[in-house]
């Protein structure tokens, strides 16, 4: 039994918990999900999710609760992490916003809300490196990745990177938990996007 931590200071927690359970099942594993709102639990997790929400709020609460250092140590230990949307912004090297204290888990810079008002939310069938068929990606006030250092780009929209991997950390600008397709969670946590 694996322990999956979902950072739950703010954002979509239940959907990620369900997606990680489905991905585990497709790989013959089972997971116990821990919702993380305070320090002390992250070190006991085998895999970790940092969901979307509001990056400025998530960043502030991680610091206030002293979870930020635990997340850094988790990633540095090489354990698998998936960070989505606001989670990606907080995990980046440069959020281009003083209110966000970046965790610097991914060597990328991001532009918050870069898709602008008109395209506030949209869905795209996305070709993702490592997945055989396109992934139904839901974008909600999503960032784009506007600088890529040591990370590998996994997907792009209109030539702009929207998914990256750096070693054990996968980041997406979209919300992979909002459809019942759990291949992205499979890719991040179980090494491939098999859906069973």
Q: Does 161 interact with ligand GLN (rule: CB under 6 A)?
A: no
Min dist. Cβ of residue 140 to ligand GLN (A): 4
Q: How far apart (Å, rounded) are the C-alpha atoms in residues 74 and 42?
A: 7
Instruction: Respond yes or no: is residue 35 known to be catalytic.
Output: no
Please tell me whether residue 65 adopts helix, strand or coil conformation: coil
DSSP state of 162: E
Q: Does 60 bind ligand GLN (CB under 6 A)?
A: no
The answer to whether residue 185 is catalytic is no
* Partners of 163 in beta bridges: 155, 172
**Residue 3, interface with ligand GLN (CB under 6 A)?**
no
* Interface stretch with ligand GLN, choices 23-31, 47-55, 156-164, 181-189 (CB under 6 A): 47-55
Residue 113 sits in the site that holds ligand GLN (CB under 6 A): yes
> Does 172 interact with ligand GLN (rule: CB under 6 A)?
no
Which CB atom, from 6 or from 26, has the smaller least distance to ligand GLN?
Answer: 6
Asked if residues 84 and 50 have their Cβ atoms less than 8 Å apart, the reply is yes
| Token duo for residue 153 | 């780009």
* Residues making up the chain, counted from first to last: 196
Active site residue 27: no
DSSP string over 53-73: S-HHHHHHHHHHTT-HHHHHH
The Cα–Cα gap between 109 and 122 comes to 22
Q: Which two tokens stand for residue 11?
A: 């954002």
Number of residues that bind ligand GLN (CB under 6 A): 11
52 binds ligand GLN (CB under 6 A): yes
Min dist. Cβ of residue 130 to ligand GLN (A): 23
Residues that bind ligand GLN (CB under 6 A): 52-55, 85-86, 89, 112-113, 140-141
Which residues are part of the catalytic machinery? Answer: 85, 175, 177
């Amino acid at each position: 039994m694996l322990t999956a931590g979902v950072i739950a200071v703010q954002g979509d927690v239940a959907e990620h918990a369900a997606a990680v359970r489905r991905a585990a099942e497709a790989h013959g594993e089972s997971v116990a999900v821990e919702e993380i709102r305070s320090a002390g639990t992250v070190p006991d997790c085998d895999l970790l999710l940092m969901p979307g929400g509001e990056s400025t709020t998530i960043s502030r609460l991680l610091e206030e609760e002293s979870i930020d250092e635990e997340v850094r140590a988790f990633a540095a230990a090489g354990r698998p992490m998936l960070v989505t949307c606001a989670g990606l912004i907080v995990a980046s090297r440069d959020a281009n916003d003083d209110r966000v204290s970046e965790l610097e888990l991914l060597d990328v810079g991001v532009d918050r809300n870069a898709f602008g008002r008109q395209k506030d939310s949209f869905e795209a069938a996305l070709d993702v490196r490592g997945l055989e068929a396109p992934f139904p990606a839901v974008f909600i006030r999503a960032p784009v990745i506007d600088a890529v250092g040591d990370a590998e780009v996994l997907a792009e929209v209109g030539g702009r990177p929207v998914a990256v991997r750096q070693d054990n950390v996968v980041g997406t600008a979209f919300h992979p938990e909002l459809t019942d397709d759990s291949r992205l969670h499979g890719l991040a946590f179980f090494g491939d996007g098999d859906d069973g």
